[in-house]
Structure 1
Amino acid sequence: MWRFQVLVLALVATLCQADYVPGTPGAEWSAEEMITIKSRINWVIDNPEATLSTMIELGSGPDKGTVDKILEKLNKRNDIDGILPTAAKFVRLTFHDCLKETETGVGCNGCFNFKGVGDVWYMHIHCPNPKDEKTARFCNKHEFGLRPLVQNETDNNNLLWTGLALEHIYRGYDFDTKAADVDSLFSRGKSRADLWAFAGLVAVHKTIQNNNRKCQEAPCLLQVDETSPNCMLEPKTPAFKTGRADCVPSCGDGYPAFCTAEHENHPDPHGNGQKTAQFFASDFGLNVQEAIALLGAHTLGRTHVTTSMWASIPWTPQGKEDFNNFYYINGLNETGYRYADPSVLLNGQPQCNDQISAFTGDEEGNPVPTRFKVVAEKQTANRGPWDWQVVSTGCWANKCADVKNANNGFYPKTSCCHWLEFCQANPKDCPWENFENKRRNNWIRWNINMLNVDTGFVYDFQTDSQGRPTGCPNFENWPTEGWRANYRDNDCPINNNPSGLGIDKDGNERTFSGEVKFFAENSQAWIDIFTTTYDKMMENGVDGSALTLAPTDWFYDN
C-alpha cells in the first residue's frame, strides 16, 4: 500500500478565522483572484516536468523511494506524461471529480476515491498472466500489485500528481517563483472543488488558444493545404460559478485532503455508443449530442499503457495539446492524411505556408484510404483491453522516384515521400513503424487510438463481458490464441440508431453517427455546444442554490 506524506506549506501567515471548512459552500472569487490562479495553472501546464520535480523536492506524494522507482520505469517506457500535470489531466480531473458518488449522489466536490491511484502497473511482459508463483511474486512487487484478470472498470489512476499540483496552488504556492503567499484560496474560504472546476476551464481555454495559433493563414499547421477551411475557434464565455462544497476527507492520516473513501459511478470503459449514452443521460442528465460533445475533450492527451493498459497513443495526434474537432474527424475514419510535426524535415520550427505540410498523404500527396483495426493489447489474461487504431498502407519508394522525376526534383507538400527519405535514414525517429511499403499487404498504424466508447457512436457493435467488441462479421469466432487473436479489421455497420433529437436539416431522423459527423464538419458548433455542456457537467451533483456566477475577466485577460 502506498502511504502519502502530508502536504505542508510554510506560509508566512494565515487568516485562520476564514479557513475553508469542508462540507460547506466555498466563498466567492474576485476577478483578481481568478486572473492570478489562471496564471499559476497555466505555468504548470507549460512546465509539467518542472512542477513534478518541485513537488518531489517538497516531499509531496508517496515516499521518495517509491517515486524514484516509478519514474525510472515510466521513463524507460517513454510514458512519463502518464503522471504529469498536463492540460489533458486538468480536464480529466474535472470530469472525474464530477462523477457522482454511488451512495450520496454528490459530484464536483473536490475529492476522488484512491482505489488504483498510484498503482502504476503494466511494466513487465511476464505480468499480464503470471504462469507460476515465482512470477506472481515478481509482478506483485514490481508492478505494485497483480493485474486484474479482466480490465473491466476505470479509476482515478494517474490523477494523483495533478491533484497534488492543484493542492499546492490551493494552499498559496506559486510554482514559478517557488514561493507561498501570505494567504491562500484555502485561508480565504474558497473550496477546492471550485479550484478544480476552474482548472479544467483554464486548460480548455489555453488549448483553444494553442489551436488558434496553428490556424492563421492557410495552409497552417492544422490545415492540409490552401483549400482547407478556417480552423479558428471562437469560444463562448463559460458560465463558471463558485460555491461548490468539498467532501469531508475520509481516508485517514497519511493521505491528501482530497482523498475520499466514497466510491464514484464510473462509465463502462468498454461500453458501446448506446451504453455510453445511457450513462451520460442517467448520471449527468445529458442528451446524445451533449454526451458526444463532451467526449470531444479526448482530443487532448493520450491513453497510457502503464496506467490504463490501453496503448500509449493519442486520440488525435493533430491535437494532443490543441483543442479542436479532429477527434470527430478521426473517429469517422475520414482523416485521409497522416499527421506529424514536420520540424525535423524543415530543420526548424514549422510555420504557415511551409514547403512540407504536417499532413501526409500518398506519394502524390492525395488522401490515403484508411480503415480501423481492432487491436488486442494483450495486457491481461484475456488478452485485453481492445482498442481501435487507424491503419493504411505505407509509402512506396519506386513511386516516390517517379513523382520526383515528374516534378523537377520536388515532392508535393503533402507527399509521403518527404517522410520516406527521412525514415529510411532515421528509422528510430520515424513517426510511424514500417512506413516504407516492402510488400503488398503492408499496413502501418497512424498513431490514432480510439476506445469502444469513442467508436461506439460511429459504428454499431456490441461488447461481451470481457470488453471485446462483438456483433460484426469480422468479430465473430475471434480466436483467443495465436497471432490471429491480435487484431481484426472493422467491418461494423454505421451506427444509425436514432439519437432522439428529432429531424436533421435534410428531413432525416438524427442518428448517433450523424451527431459525430455534424461536429466533424462544424467545429464552431461543436465548441459552442461543448461549452454549455461543460458548464452543465461542472454542476453535476451540486447544490445549485449555493452557486454564484463568477467574474469573467479571466477569460479575456491574456
Structure 2
Amino acid sequence: MVLRCGAPWSLVCVLGLFTKIGALCRDAACDAVPSASSALVQRKLLVAGDASQMELREAEGNTGDCQSWCSPNPSTCTFNECKACAGCDGMPHCAGWCEHNTKDWSAKCAMWTCQDCGACNSSPSSPNGYTYVGTGYCDGGYIGGWDTADAVDIETCAQKCSSELNCKFFSLQVGATCSRYSSVAGNCTTRFRPNQYVTFGKAPARPGYVAGEPGAAWSPEHQKAIRAKLIRVFQESDAVCREANIEVPGERWSGLPTMAKFLRLAFHDCMKYADGTGGCDGCLEWKGVGGRYTRDQHGKKQLNVSDDGHHNGLRPTVEILEKIYTDPNFPPKAPGLWQSPKESGFSRADLWAFAGMVAVEHGIHLNNLACHKLDLDDAHGILSQCHPRVGEPDCEVAAPRPFHFASGRKDCVPDPTADQPYKTFKTELHPDPGANAASTLAYFKRDFGFNARETVAILGAHTLGRVHNTISLHQYTWKTRSAMLFNNGYFRNLASKEDWYYPTGSFPNGTNIRTATCRGFGNSRGERAPARWKPHAFYHLTNGGPVQWLQEKKVCPCFDPSWTRPDEGCCNDDPFSCKAGCEEYRIVLGMDETMLNSDMSLYRQFSTNDGIPAGCPGLEDWNSEAIKSDWRLRSPRIPSNDVHGDSWDSSHCPFTTIADPPGSTPMYRVVEEYADSNEKFFADFFPVLEKMLMNGYNASDLVVTPMASHACPYQDPHDWHRHYSCS
C-alpha cells in the first residue's frame, strides 16, 4: 500500500510533503529530496514551524547538509532531517514548539521527534488499550486507513483501530492518514517517515479473564466474529468436533452440538445451586455427565429415577465453546480474533449466554429459509427441514427487536479439584420433567422469578431440538422434521392444532418418504389433519416409566401399506389421499411428536404420582402397578379396566386454569395465544429469555446493549472455499 515513486514522482514527493501522496512515497528518489541539490528543490515549500509563523521559504543553493535551512529558522531542522549544522543540534530545533507547550504542541512533539524540552522529553500519552511504539510507520501488514476522517487525532484513530479485530497497531499523520496494520509494530526493523507519523500498538494482552470478576464488555466487531464462529458449529458440528479432537460420547448423532443444545446450555448455566447461590456463572454441576444409558437397558424396568446427570449430553457443546473461548483462530473457515475471548477479558458465562441467543436468531433465519422451499434441498444437512406452514401467512417469522445482550457476568471460582474451570461439584436445582404445571411453575417462580406467562413462554424454547433416550431416557422430537426452525410450532402441537403429518417409512414404490419430499399428509379432502395426545409408559424405570405424551394425527393411511394396513378399498394410486371415512389416527413411527408431563400440563391439568399422570377421568386405575402388570396398559384405555377399549387421550383432562399472578390469563389460554400467533410468542419470549440469562444479577451489575444485527449468509458445507462471515 506504499507508492513507489520513481524519478517522475520526485516533484510530487517534494511538493506533497503535507499531502497524502507525499506521505506514502518511499523510494530512493523520494528519500533524497530534502537534502538533494537539484532544480526541483529551488521552489517555494511549505515549511513546518510554529503555527503562527508558517511561511514560504526559498530553498536556494543548498549544496551542503541543509546549510541554508539552519538559519534563521531552526524549526525546519527536524522537518527536513537536517543534522549537520549547529542550528539543528540540541534545543534550538524545537525551541519554537516548546515555548507554548499546549496539548496541540505536545502532539507535535511526538510527530516531529522533538525531545529536548518539557513534555517533548517523554512519549505522548497513549490512548486506552495502546502503548506508544515510536515515530514513523512500518510497511508490513497494511489493512487500510487512507481516510482523513479518522486522522483527526490520536483518540479517533485508536477508536478506529479498536473496531477492527485484526488491527494490531496504527500510525497517525494528523490530517492525512490513520493507517492500520495487522502485523506487530514492535517487529518492524525499519521505520519510514519518522518526522511525519506517530505509532501506537495495542497493549499486550492481559493475563485474561479472572474468575469471579465481571466479564468485559463486547464490541460489535467481537459479536460479529463470534456469531460467525457459532454458525459454523451449528451447520458443521461433526466436522468442527473432529477438527478440535473433541470426543462425542455415546451415539455420535445424538451427542453432537446443535442449536438446541446451545440454548439448553444457556438455560442450565443459569440454574441456581441448592444453597440459593449461583445463577449464570459459566459452570455446571458435572455429576452424571457423559454416556449414561445403553440401548440394551431400555424397556427392562431396571433403572431408577435419579437427580444426577440433568446436564447430560452437553459435554461436547461445552468443550466446543471452551475452544472458541480460549483459541482466537478456532474454528477454521471462520473469522480469527486478535486475541481469544478469554484474553480479551470476556467471561465464559457471557459467551454461553451469547451462544444461546445466536441459536434462537439462527433458528429464525432457518425458519424463513424453509418457508421458501416446497421440497427438500438437502435430505441430510441443516436444510433438511420441512415447514408444516409453507404457503400460509404465518410461515415466516420476524424478531420483535434485537436481543438485549448483557455482559459482565461472573464465572464461578473454579473448584481446585476439578480438571476444568467450568466444572463444579455443587448441587444445582433443576425442574422435574415428570412433574405437572403447578410444580413447574413453583420451580421457575422460586429460582427465576417467573410468573405463569413467563413460565409458558420459556418452555417455548422446546421448539428447537429433541430428546434422546441414551442421554435422558426420553425420546423422539417436539416437532417432526422441523426441529431446527424457531417458531410457535411447539405451541401449535401442544394445543392440538391441525397441521400436516410427516410420516417415516416408504411409499408403495419403495422410495423413502423422509428423503424424497417435504409434502405433508392430511385427510381425504387434502386438508391438514386433527390431532390428539396420549400418554405412554416406556418401561425403562422400576416404576414402569418414564411417561411421555405422544401425538397422533387422523390421516389417510395409504402412504406405506406395509405397516399402516388401511382397510380394503381405501387407497388409490395417490399415496397422499384416501376415500372419505378411511382416515385413521397414526403416530410418526420412530419420530413421534412428543411432550413431557411438564409440557402437556401447561395446557391440560392433571396430577402426577411418581411421574405417572393421574387425576383425570379414565386414569383412576392407570398407575405404576397396572403398567408393570400388563404391557398392553402402557397407554391407558377407556374404560380403564377394558384392555380392548379405545385409547384414552388428553381431552379427558380439563384445561390448566392456573393463573399467576391471580387474575391474570390462565396458562392454557397463554398456550392458545402463542399457538395462534408467532408475534405474541416472540414478544414474550425475547424478554423472558433475557431475564433468564440475567439470573443471579441485578440490572446494575451488567452492561446491557442491543445485540448488533448482522447478516450471515448460508455456506454450502461442500464448498472447499467456504468461509463463514457476517456483515
Shorter-chain TM-score range = 0.7 to 0.9
User: Cα 1:440–1:293, aligned 2, differ >3 Å: closer, same or farther?
Assistant: closer
Q: For residue 318 of structure 1, report the CA deviation from its aligned partner.
A: 4.8
Structure 2 residue corresponding to 1:365, chosen from 526, 538, 543: 526
Structure 2 residue corresponding to 1:210, chosen from 350, 366, 373: 366
Task: Provide the secondary structure at the position in 2 that maps to 1:330.
Answer: helix
Contact 1:30–1:551 under 8 Å retained in 2: no
Q: Which residue in the other structure is 1:484 paired with?
A: 632
User: Cα 1:362–1:186, aligned 2, differ >3 Å: closer, same or farther?
Assistant: same
User: Structure 2 counterpart of 1:302, which letter?
Assistant: R
Q: Which residue in the other structure is 2:699 paired with?
A: 544
Structure 2 residue corresponding to 1:329, chosen from 492, 497, 511: 492
Structure 2 residue corresponding to 1:390, chosen from 510, 530, 551: 551
Task: Provide the secondary structure at the position in 2 that maps to 1:262.
Answer: coil
TM-score, structure 2 normalization: 0.59
Q: For residue 454 of structure 1, report the CA deviation from its aligned partner.
A: 0.5
Contact 1:122–1:379 under 8 Å retained in 2: no
User: Structure 2 counterpart of 1:240, which letter?
Assistant: F
Q: For residue 119 of structure 1, report the CA deviation from its aligned partner.
A: 3.7
Q: Which residue in the other structure is 1:52 paired with?
A: 241
Contact 2:211–2:410 under 8 Å retained in 1: yes
Q: For residue 51 of structure 1, report the CA deviation from its aligned partner.
A: 2.0
Q: Which residue in the other structure is 1:138 paired with?
A: none
In 2, distance between residues paired with 1:98 and 1:393?
40
Q: Which residue in the other structure is 2:405 paired with?
A: 240
Task: Provide the secondary structure at the position in 2 that maps to 1:185.
Answer: coil
Structure 1 residue corresponding to 2:477, chosen from 314, 317, 323: 314
Q: For residue 474 of structure 1, report the CA deviation from its aligned partner.
A: 2.6
User: Cα 1:166–1:440, aligned 2, differ >3 Å: closer, same or farther?
Assistant: closer
In 1, distance between residues paired with 2:403 and 2:322?
24
Q: Report % sequence identity.
A: 30
Q: Which is further off, 313-322 or 196-205? A: 313-322
Q: Does 1:118 align with 2:290?
A: yes
User: Cα 1:232–1:224, aligned 2, differ >3 Å: closer, same or farther?
Assistant: closer
Contact 2:655–2:668 under 8 Å retained in 1: yes
Task: Provide the secondary structure at the position in 1 that maps to 2:296.
Answer: coil
Contact 2:263–2:356 under 8 Å retained in 1: yes
User: Structure 2 counterpart of 1:161, which letter?
Assistant: P
In 2, distance between residues paired with 1:372 and 1:151?
27
Q: Which residue in the other structure is 1:264 paired with?
A: 428
Structure 1 residue corresponding to 2:274, chosen from 74, 99, 102: 102
In 1, distance between residues paired with 2:512 and 2:542?
46
Q: Which residue in the other structure is 2:660 paired with?
A: 500
Contact 1:153–1:269 under 8 Å retained in 2: no
Contact 1:93–1:159 under 8 Å retained in 2: yes
Contact 2:225–2:336 under 8 Å retained in 1: no
User: Cα 1:25–1:208, aligned 2, differ >3 Å: closer, same or farther?
Assistant: same
User: Cα 1:29–1:443, aligned 2, differ >3 Å: closer, same or farther?
Assistant: closer
In 2, distance between residues paired with 1:542 and 1:189?
19
Gaps of 5+ in 2: 1-182, 185-202, 377-385, 637-647, 712-725
Task: Provide the secondary structure at the position in 2 that maps to 1:494.
Answer: coil
In 1, distance between residues paired with 2:621 and 2:608?
14
- How many residues align? The count is 474
Contact 2:291–2:470 under 8 Å retained in 1: no
Structure 2 residue corresponding to 1:460, chosen from 597, 600, 605: 605
Q: For residue 333 of structure 1, report the CA deviation from its aligned partner.
A: 1.8
Q: Which residue in the other structure is 2:159 paired with?
A: none
Q: Which is further off, 391-400 or 542-551? A: 391-400
User: Cα 1:39–1:376, aligned 2, differ >3 Å: closer, same or farther?
Assistant: same
Contact 2:232–2:334 under 8 Å retained in 1: no
In 1, distance between residues paired with 2:521 and 2:415?
52
Q: Which is further off, 202-211 or 395-404? A: 395-404
User: Structure 2 counterpart of 1:264, which letter?
Assistant: E
Q: Which is further off, 118-127 or 217-226? A: 217-226
Q: For residue 288 of structure 1, report the CA deviation from its aligned partner.
A: 1.1
User: Structure 1 counterpart of 2:350, which letter?
Assistant: D
Q: For residue 481 of structure 1, report the CA deviation from its aligned partner.
A: 1.7
Q: Which residue in the other structure is 2:228 paired with?
A: 39
In 1, distance between residues paired with 2:701 and 2:506?
50
Structure 1 residue corresponding to 2:614, chosen from 461, 467, 470: 470
In 2, distance between residues paired with 1:289 and 1:514?
10
User: Cα 1:374–1:20, aligned 2, differ >3 Å: closer, same or farther?
Assistant: same
Instruction: Please list the CA deviations of residues 105-161 of structure 1 after superposition, one character each: whole Å capped at 9, or x if unmatched.
Output: 22111111001111421331478455xxxxxxxxxxxxxxxx4x2356761101111
Q: Which is further off, 475-484 or 393-402? A: 393-402
In 2, distance between residues paired with 1:209 and 1:402?
41
In 2, distance between residues paired with 1:287 and 1:301?
25
Q: For residue 18 of structure 1, report the CA deviation from its aligned partner.
A: 4.1
User: Structure 1 counterpart of 2:221, which letter?
Assistant: E
User: Cα 1:497–1:440, aligned 2, differ >3 Å: closer, same or farther?
Assistant: closer
In 1, distance between residues paired with 2:336 and 2:361?
26
Task: Provide the secondary structure at the position in 1 that maps to 2:527.
Answer: coil
In 1, distance between residues paired with 2:397 and 2:313?
30
Q: Which residue in the other structure is 2:639 paired with?
A: none
Contact 2:403–2:706 under 8 Å retained in 1: no
Instruction: Please list the CA deviations of residues 198-246 of structure 1 after superposition, one character each: whole Å capped at 9, or x if unmatched.
Output: 00011100010000112249999525575x3332111021111110000
Contact 1:171–1:184 under 8 Å retained in 2: yes
Q: Does 1:164 align with 2:298?
A: no
Task: Provide the secondary structure at the position in 2 that maps to 1:37.
Answer: helix
Task: Provide the secondary structure at the position in 1 that maps to 2:618.
Answer: helix
In 2, distance between residues paired with 1:441 and 1:291?
31
TM-score, structure 1 normalization: 0.76
User: Cα 1:38–1:416, aligned 2, differ >3 Å: closer, same or farther?
Assistant: farther
Q: Which residue in the other structure is 2:33 paired with?
A: none
Contact 2:301–2:544 under 8 Å retained in 1: no
In 2, distance between residues paired with 1:215 and 1:343?
25
User: Cα 1:200–1:276, aligned 2, differ >3 Å: closer, same or farther?
Assistant: same
Contact 1:208–1:323 under 8 Å retained in 2: yes
Instruction: Please list the CA deviations of residues 464-513 of structure 1 after superposition, one character each: whole Å capped at 9, or x if unmatched.
Output: 1x21111122322121222233122334323241423677xxxxx73211
Q: Does 1:282 align with 2:446?
A: yes
Structure number with the bigger relative contact order (C-alpha 8 A, sep ≥ 6) is 1
Q: Does 1:377 align with 2:538?
A: yes
In 2, distance between residues paired with 1:555 and 1:238?
12
User: Cα 1:225–1:267, aligned 2, differ >3 Å: closer, same or farther?
Assistant: closer
In 2, distance between residues paired with 1:18 and 1:278?
42
User: Cα 1:181–1:30, aligned 2, differ >3 Å: closer, same or farther?
Assistant: closer
In 2, distance between residues paired with 1:240 and 1:390?
37
In 2, distance between residues paired with 1:456 and 1:44?
34
User: Cα 1:357–1:158, aligned 2, differ >3 Å: closer, same or farther?
Assistant: closer
Contact 1:215–1:230 under 8 Å retained in 2: no
Q: Superposition RMSD on alpha carbons, in Å?
A: 3.6
User: Cα 1:534–1:368, aligned 2, differ >3 Å: closer, same or farther?
Assistant: same
Q: For residue 177 of structure 1, report the CA deviation from its aligned partner.
A: 4.1
